[in-house]
């Protein structure tokens, strides 16, 4: 059965797209910790990020870096934090979270 995120990639569930290429997709989190909280996922359905190949993890990080640069312009912040949780959705993803303060407690 397709994950929620695969349905988002397929356009069966709406999302606010931030960026996309042939392998990866970035969209705003539906329940953001802060404004601009973005998720980066592989279009290929993989349970957890560490199930990706070394090459895929590298390519996903490069994609995430470019998304983070765009987030920083759209949502002025001191840095864009990155987190891998995977508690809720069994489809590999990276959280990108604009941070306003070095002392922000996000989790
Ligand atoms: P995690 O699996 O890393 O614990 O969290 C999954 C994240 O996906 C959560 O921050 C949650 O708000 C987000 N999320 C879950 N379902 C949807 C959805 O249908 N659309 C969007 N945009 N985000 C979702």
Segment 76-94, tens digit of pLDDT: 899 999 999 989 999 999 9
User: In this prediction, does ipTM exceed 0.90?
Assistant: yes
Average pLDDT value over all residues in the chain = 94
Rounded to the nearest angstrom, the distance between the alpha carbon of 7 and the centre of ligand 1 is 13
Give the position, in ligand 1's atom list, of the atom nearest the Cα of 28. 22
Rounded to the nearest angstrom, the distance between the alpha carbon of 17 and the centre of ligand 1 is 14
Residue closest via CA to ligand 1's atom 5 equals 88
What domains appear along the chain, each with residue ranges and CATH number? Answer: 4-99 (3.30.428.10)
Task: Quote the DSSP letter at residue 104.
Answer: -
Q: 107 pLDDT exceeds 70?
A: no
Cα–Cα distances in Å, from 68 out to 3, 26, 45, 73, 75? 24, 10, 22, 9, 10
Residue 38, judged by CB atoms within 10 A of its CB (0-12, 13-18, 19+), counts as: buried
Q: 25 pLDDT exceeds 80?
A: yes
- By annotation, the residues acting in catalysis are 93
The CA-CA-CA angle for residues 99, 85, 98, to 5°, reads 15
Nearest residue to 67 via CA among 80, 58, 54, 84: 80
pLDDT (average), residues 57-68: 98
């Amino acid at each position: 059965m397709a994950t929620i995120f695969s349905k988002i990639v397929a356009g069966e569930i709406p999302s606010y797209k931030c960026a996309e290429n042939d392998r990866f997709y970035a969209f705003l989190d539906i329940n953001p910790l802060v404004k601009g909280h973005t998720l980066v996922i592989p279009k290929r359905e993989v349970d957890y990020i560490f199930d990706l190949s070394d090459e895929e993890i590298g390519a996903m990080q490069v994609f995430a870096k470019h998304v983070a640069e765009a987030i920083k312009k759209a949502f002025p912040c001191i840095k864009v934090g990155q987190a891998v949780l995977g508690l809720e959705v069994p489809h590999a993803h990276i959280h990108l979270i604009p941070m306003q303060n070095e002392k922000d407690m996000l989790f």
